[in-house]
Structure 1
Amino acid sequence: MSKIIFVSNRLPVTVKKNESDLQYSKSIGGLATGLKSYHEQGDSLWAGWPGISSNDLNEQDEKEIDQELREEYNCLPIFLSEEEIEQYYHGFCNETIWPLFHYFTNATEYNTDTWEAYKKVNQKFFDSIDPVIEPNDTIWIHDYQLMLLPQMIREKYPDTKIGFFLHIPFPSFEIYRLLIWREEILRGLMGANLIGFHTYDYVRHFLSSVRRLLGKEHNLYKVNYETYSVQVEAFPMGIDYEYFSKSSGQDGLSNEALEFIESTKSVQNIISVDRLDYTKGLPERIKAFKQFLIKYPEYHEKVRLNLIVAPSRVGVEAYDNLKREIEELVSAVNGQFGTLSWMPVWFFFRTFTQDDLIAFYRNSDVLLVTPLRDGMNLVAKEYIAARNDYKGMLVMSETAGAASELGEAVIVNANDYGAIAAGIKTALDMPDHEKIERNKMLHRRISRYNVKFWADEFLEALKNTTDSQVETKDVIDIKSEPSNVEKAYVDSNKRVLFLDYDGTLVGFKPTPDQAKPDEELRQILSDLCADKRNTVVIITGRDRDVIEKWLGDLDLHIIASHGLWLREPGGEWRMTMSVDNDWKESIRHVLEMYTDRTPGSLIEEKEYSLAWHYRQCEPEIGALKRNELREALLSITQSMSLGILEGNKVLEIKDTRMNKGHGAHQMMQGKDYDFIFGVGDDHTDEDLFDALPEDAFSIKVGAGSTHANYRLQSFRNIRQLLKRFVDMSNK
């Protein structure tokens, strides 16, 4: 029976150890609330760290915690040592990913030791959930601490439904590219079938990075990646609207909350609720409030800013310095503007209960939320829900994720103190009828799109995404038992192997001349040729001189220029058809014109074709100029026997009679092979697949529609399969 496995850095249950026993306490709010209805089902499991260092536990403690969490809470604990917590969480997560993704590049640290710890802990999470993964399970992974985990799961369980949600911003490409391990992180995330973000800004930034760093385009936010597609969407997270909007009395409130309620009778209250972090813009908020007091002196002794800051990372120097700066700014404002009967800023450096916070929300005229950068900011939604009289007003910075949803609020620039000051005045002066009108719209939106709706929508989208994966080709499993391809290879005596080169035997490089064969590839090909039952054929669109220079010393056949030239081992080149180059000059002129207009593009001149490469161009410009060039070429070549071949970041113009199918036919003519194998990665190889007999083993590398019978993920997988062939030949 299929189940849902939730994976996050922290479990929704925290374990503490005292002298006599172990204590368990449930988390409330946020993710725990949103996933509650799913997690309480008997067929679900939540994996994560229980909040206690394994250094404080003995073997018996761990067994007891594991049993208690599994049986009573449907949780799977993953135990981390103090060193792992320090290096992986406090190190890489909080010193590298957190500041960079929030645009604080000057606070970002790059440390190979913490990166290694990050990889190690992600692997530890996978090793822990591996034994409980079953066919048809759904796995939903959360947040920036586990960005390598989706690909780890994908590699072993290719048919599993995998979702990932990032709860912090995803930065623009210009910021993300600064990350040393940028491609590893992207590949880790691309193991998911569905990747969710809070806003479409983050979706665009992510897809831009995927396009620029991995070379993968998207169509309607869907990326064809390896042997499957990845859907990228925005799912703005909601809150437990019913909990925050319900009426409640004053029972159970702290003395501070009761005193706060009493104080609202004499002044208008502005509330600010955040945890201590440099991304929240707390010093800037105080400076903006000071600007408000300077600019609008009529509000002196009539308004109060209540700054509630929850302690975070106590003992970390940068955070201690931030707290000190806040205290000094508060003191300066109070010293400059305060009177014997009025203190303009009240600073609370502590946590409050949820009920106390609701009381603060309900008795505050304005919520001031001005983070410099924030993934969502649920405090804004909590405040709106708590003000069930529709008379509170929200002042919010445009760099908070929630700003894209809460357009009826007063939206400001977090760095513009004058704009924030004016925004506070607008909120305080707004007539009740306008507040009510705006808040009713906000309430309708956040009551409908609550946290449960968010979870439902994501899981439904994940189901639809995986259900719509049209994968008609068998993916060869090269890690387990021998596949049908390998069994047929062993049982045959006369084999031919057609191997495309670029994208199939080697990865793509910035320029064509950089894709030289490495020693591993040369050894694989040499070993394949050593088996006298094998006829190994490199079939490529490359020019004959280049491929002969790279591989001509090996005992293999080469078909070059898309089937135009054929060379047997150690022999001379012969043409398979008659073609001419009379057309080149007119086409070259057009290509040169577009190359001059498109920085990063280049022309590759082959013996009987011309290719325009745009791999190093800005993706948007490259795609635009490609389309323009293709239209221009079509108008020129429509009366000629020329075709425009579109490959991976390349347009090639050649005689339409030249194709890999023609070259393969020349090789197989009059031969009686009992094992025919063909492999390629783009639609130039479809001619090869079409030319092979029905019982041939044709393999498409990567995603996309194909006539091939099988599929593999990448050139690395092809090399692994060829190595398996070599091992079988040796046996």
Structure 2
Amino acid sequence: MGKLIFVSNRLPVTVKKNETDIEYNKSIGGLATGLKSYHEQGNSVWAGWPGISEDVLQDEEQNTISAKLQDDYNCLPIFLSEEDIELYYHGFSNETIWPLFHYFTSNTQYNQDTWEAYKRVNQKFFDTLDAVIEPDDTIWIHDYQLMLLPQMIREKYPNAQIGFFLHIPFPSYEIFRLLIWREEILQGLLGANLIGFHTFDYVRHFLSSVRRLLGIENNMYKLNYETHTVRVDAFPMGIDYDYFFKSDPEDKLSDELRDFIANTGDVQNIISIDRLDYTKGIPDRIKAFKRFLKEYPEYHEKVRLNLIVAPSRVEVETYDNLKKQIEVLVSQVNGEFGTVNWMPIWFFFRSFSQDDLITFYRHSDVLLVTPLRDGMNLVAKEYIASRNDYKGMLVMSETAGAASELGEAVIVNANNHREIANGIKAALDMPDAEKIERNKMMHRRLSRYNVKFWADEFITALKNTDSEQIEDKPVLKLNEGSELELAYKQAEQRLLLLDYDGTLVGFKPTPDQAKPDAELRSLLTDVTRDPNNTVVIITGRDRDTIENWLGDLNLYIIASHGLWFREPDGDWIKTINVDNEWKETIRHILEMYTDRMPGSLIEEKEFSLAWHYRQCEPDVVGLKRDELRDALLSITQSMSLGVLEGNKVLEVKDGRINKGQGVHLLTRDHNYDFILGAGDDHTDEDLFAALPEEAFSIKIGSANTLAKYRLKSFREMRTLLRRLAKASEEQSETAK
């Protein structure tokens, strides 16, 4: 059984260098608590940055730290330079991804240098992990700093079990599409077998972005990507419920907290706890509290807001300006409403210990949590769990992830100051019996769905992804010692049958945009230069188009799914007699659906009609496509017509025509000792079925197939052709 490898930006141990020694401090709470039981079981390792710049360490110190972390903490450190930290972490992670994923598009910065650093550091994480990954390992990657890492691991370890969890929101497609490097981020994430989010809203947003940007549909939260199945699901993160519910910090209280308890006994306390960040909605919260004091003067001198803001990135201008804005707003409220004996807002710009926070929780009547956008917000859960008398009440914005779990709280719109003010009043006035009833329901939920349950559920789901994978077909190895290359070199007569769209070129918005580029033409020229090679383009394209694009090369061409055959520099031969009498009837139906589906188009081929919907609105495609397919099947069932379903296309043609005919045509009178067939969609299954048993058949992409091997994309297919051309060239040089 393999080991568990956890990967996060930061290790659960922070390393500090003092004047005399090196200090190691373990993290508490959150992720470290949830994964503690797994991490300490012995057969696991946690990889991440130890919190210290490699620039301040000598090589010997790095070695000492690495040994200490591995021996005593089961941790694998990834050392980062000051430049890495600045560009990758403070730069791309927190100036691009963080604001965009929290819907702050005006705060989002696009910088090529930080993007390059992000890629470089993700690669550095992989390079370090590569030394410890073994075939049976399970790898769980965490958060937005490492979204490229799953695919990097998948590239080298195609059978690895990889999980990824995003601890911040995933934005709607309309927001995510603004990201310059959006496809690269999605492709990086899709290297995982299981992708987890806090809420189903984030799941829905992610699947929508994948469908719209990459054209990959999902079925019951599962999608086929390249060579594996990706499951996407919601796993709401919990807290260490027993710790907060049973903790008794009274004996460890500081004098400051004892004074707080003594001096606030005659007022109702409202507490607000956040890290300094513009996503938390702190200025709006203060304005809402001001609105509350204006509209409900009977609460003057009877209520107090304890505003705790933990310092964060104050060296950054945006955050420093936010701190100043908060200070001004607090001063305005206290100046307008305060009295000699009463100050409405007590502002604490510092961090408190966990014990002190539990004390704050237990002596506060209301927790005010109104982020403008938050992945989960564990503070809300900590407050509820800490109130073991069930008498506290939570006022929380609907845009916090926890709102989907804590529906018994007072839920408000974070931008509506009046609604927040009314929510504060409702929470303060709520009878104890009602508060107890609501709290007990939330407690039951939090006690069951605690942080250990969250980790157990995710890891169990990840291990179960083995049974959900695509039919097991090996990924073709692109190396000199592969079975295919050895067979190619030993063969004297070779037949290469190559589909065009999706196999040699990527898909384009419209069919006419998929013209062969210079690289492809050069590759085909090199492969056909070997006199032992018979290279055939076998495609659904009409004969005029494919001849115009590739007819000048030394290629055989089979067009219109097998209807037309052409030798190099030869004339077209029709392989079967067909007619077009059916076209008008079918065209009328296709035109009707084209009018209803903006973005769809009809491609008229010589003896077939194709309806393309690649550019259509994905949310309405499914219904209309199925409706059209059913209509076409109903009409064609009494004819000799068939309905082919390709990649974002429905094509109607004579049912007697298929790509398998082309194989029989070429192999009928010729003996080849090497045959290769490659294709990417349903129409190529006829090709695979017609190949002899000893042939090398290759499916490009995912989905079940008759082919023996897989390649991920047309790019890998081009890599294979390049290797074959090189092998031919080497043989030719040797022969000389």
2:417 match: 417
2:177 match: 177
Taking the aligned partners of 2:641 and 2:525, their CA distance within structure 1 comes to: 36
Aligned pairs for 1:429-448 (under 5 A) are 429-448=429-448
Q: Does 1:454 align with 2:473?
A: no
- Describe the SS at the equivalent of 1:475: coil
- Letter of the aligned partner of 1:189 in structure 2? L
User: Alpha-carbon deviation of 1:711?
Assistant: 1.2
- Letter of the aligned partner of 1:17 in structure 2? K
2:204 match: 204
User: Alpha-carbon deviation of 1:718?
Assistant: 1.0
2:249/2:359 contact within 8 Å kept:
no
User: Alpha-carbon deviation of 1:265?
Assistant: 1.5
Structure 1: state its 5+ residue gaps.
Answer: none
2:58 match: 58
2:561/2:658 contact within 8 Å kept:
yes
Q: Among all aligned residue pairs of Structure 1 and Structure 2, give the percentage whose two residues are the same amino acid.
A: 75
Taking the aligned partners of 1:258 and 1:375, their CA distance within structure 2 comes to: 33
1:163 match: 163
Q: Which moved more, 1:301-310 or 1:666-675?
A: 666-675
1:722 match: 721
Q: Deviations over 1:667-704 (max 9, x none)?
A: 22121111121110001001111111122111111111
Q: Which moved more, 1:716-725 or 1:600-609?
A: 716-725
Aligned length in residues: 730
- Letter of the aligned partner of 1:546 in structure 2? T
Taking the aligned partners of 1:563 and 1:154, their CA distance within structure 2 comes to: 36
2:530 match: 531
Aligned pairs for 1:674-685 (under 5 A) are 674-685=673-684
- Describe the SS at the equivalent of 1:553: coil
2:578 match: 579
Taking the aligned partners of 1:524 and 1:81, their CA distance within structure 2 comes to: 41
2:249/2:358 contact within 8 Å kept:
no
- Describe the SS at the equivalent of 2:508: coil
User: Alpha-carbon deviation of 1:468?
Assistant: 3.0
- Describe the SS at the equivalent of 1:580: coil
User: Alpha-carbon deviation of 1:5?
Assistant: 0.9
TM-score norm. by structure 2 comes to 0.98
Taking the aligned partners of 1:715 and 1:515, their CA distance within structure 2 comes to: 13
2:229/2:468 contact within 8 Å kept:
no
Taking the aligned partners of 1:473 and 1:317, their CA distance within structure 2 comes to: 53
Q: Deviations over 1:22-53 (max 9, x none)?
A: 11100000001111111112211111111111
- Describe the SS at the equivalent of 2:131: helix
Taking the aligned partners of 2:559 and 2:571, their CA distance within structure 1 comes to: 13
User: Alpha-carbon deviation of 1:256?
Assistant: 2.2
Q: Does 1:664 align with 2:691?
A: no
- Letter of the aligned partner of 2:329 in structure 1? L
2:73 match: 73
Taking the aligned partners of 2:350 and 2:173, their CA distance within structure 1 comes to: 37
Aligned pairs for 1:100-139 (under 5 A) are 100-139=100-139
1:505/1:715 contact within 8 Å kept:
yes
2:521 match: 522
2:140 match: 140
- Describe the SS at the equivalent of 1:604: strand
Structure 2: state its 5+ residue gaps.
Answer: 731-736
- Letter of the aligned partner of 2:210 in structure 1? V
Aligned pairs for 1:467-546 (under 5 A) are 467-478=467-478, 480-546=479-545
Aligned pairs for 1:309-328 (under 5 A) are 309-328=309-328
Taking the aligned partners of 1:608 and 1:356, their CA distance within structure 2 comes to: 78
Taking the aligned partners of 1:575 and 1:323, their CA distance within structure 2 comes to: 77
- Letter of the aligned partner of 1:597 in structure 2? R
2:268/2:303 contact within 8 Å kept:
yes
1:190 match: 190
2:351 match: 351
1:218/1:224 contact within 8 Å kept:
yes
User: Alpha-carbon deviation of 1:470?
Assistant: 4.1
Taking the aligned partners of 2:256 and 2:575, their CA distance within structure 1 comes to: 90
User: Alpha-carbon deviation of 1:481?
Assistant: 4.8
- Letter of the aligned partner of 1:526 in structure 2? T
1:97/1:108 contact within 8 Å kept:
yes
Q: Does 1:700 align with 2:699?
A: yes
2:556 match: 557
2:393 match: 393
- Describe the SS at the equivalent of 2:677: strand
Taking the aligned partners of 2:525 and 2:100, their CA distance within structure 1 comes to: 46
Taking the aligned partners of 2:680 and 2:179, their CA distance within structure 1 comes to: 29
Taking the aligned partners of 1:289 and 1:371, their CA distance within structure 2 comes to: 14
Q: Which moved more, 1:529-538 or 1:560-569?
A: 529-538
1:264/1:364 contact within 8 Å kept:
no
Taking the aligned partners of 1:667 and 1:622, their CA distance within structure 2 comes to: 38
- Letter of the aligned partner of 1:364 in structure 2? S
Taking the aligned partners of 1:546 and 1:249, their CA distance within structure 2 comes to: 78
Q: Does 1:286 align with 2:286?
A: yes
Q: Which moved more, 1:372-381 or 1:612-621?
A: 612-621
Q: Which moved more, 1:624-633 or 1:528-537?
A: 624-633
- Describe the SS at the equivalent of 2:106: helix
Describe the shift of the 1:527–1:481 C-alpha distance in structure 2 as closer, same or farther (beyond 3 A).
closer
2:535/2:555 contact within 8 Å kept:
yes
1:645 match: 644
Taking the aligned partners of 1:726 and 1:247, their CA distance within structure 2 comes to: 70
Taking the aligned partners of 2:452 and 2:264, their CA distance within structure 1 comes to: 34
Aligned-CA RMSD value? 1.0
1:287/1:329 contact within 8 Å kept:
yes
- Letter of the aligned partner of 2:712 in structure 1? Q
- Describe the SS at the equivalent of 1:45: strand
Taking the aligned partners of 2:497 and 2:100, their CA distance within structure 1 comes to: 46
